[in-house]
Amino acid sequence: MSQAKKTRTTVDIYGRTYTILGEENVHHMRVVASMVDDKMRDIYQANKSLDTTRLAVLTAVNTVNDYLKLKQEHEDLLKKIEEKEDL
C-alpha cells in the first residue's frame, strides 16, 4: 500500500457534495470533479429523462471510453517514436 500523503477535499458534483481522498493535490482533485460534473451535465442535456444513477453510469462509460482511446493513441505514438529511433 502506498505511503504517500493523502489529501482530503470536498467537491460538488451534479448538485451533491462529496469528500474525496487522494494522493493528488487539492487543485487536481477539484479539476477532476469539475470535469465529471461537466460531463454529467452534457450527457443530461442530451437525454433529460435519465435518473442520476443511469446518468452516473453513462458518464463513467463515456469517460472510460475516452480514456481507452487516449491510451491507444499514446501507445501508437510511442510505437512510432520507437520505430523512428530504430532507423
CA distance 29 to 40: 17
For the segment 26-38, the average pLDDT, to the nearest whole number, is 98
Burial class of residue 59 in the structure, from the number of CB atoms within 10 Å of its CB (0-12 exposed, 13-18 middle, 19+ buried): buried
Question: For residue range 34-72, what is the model confidence (pLDDT) as tens digits?
Answer: 999 999 999 999 999 999 999 999 999 999 999 999 999
How confident is the prediction for the chain on average, in pLDDT?
Answer: 95
- 57 within domain boundaries: yes
Return the DSSP state at 51.
-
- 36 within domain boundaries: yes
- 2 within domain boundaries: no
CA distance 79 to 27: 33
- 1 within domain boundaries: no
Q: Domain count of the chain?
A: 1
**Residue position matching grid coordinates 475516452:** 66
- 75 within domain boundaries: yes
Domain carrying residue 46: 7-86
- 25 within domain boundaries: yes
Q: How far are the Cα atoms of 7, 29, 32 from residue 23, in angstroms, in the given order?
A: 6, 9, 13
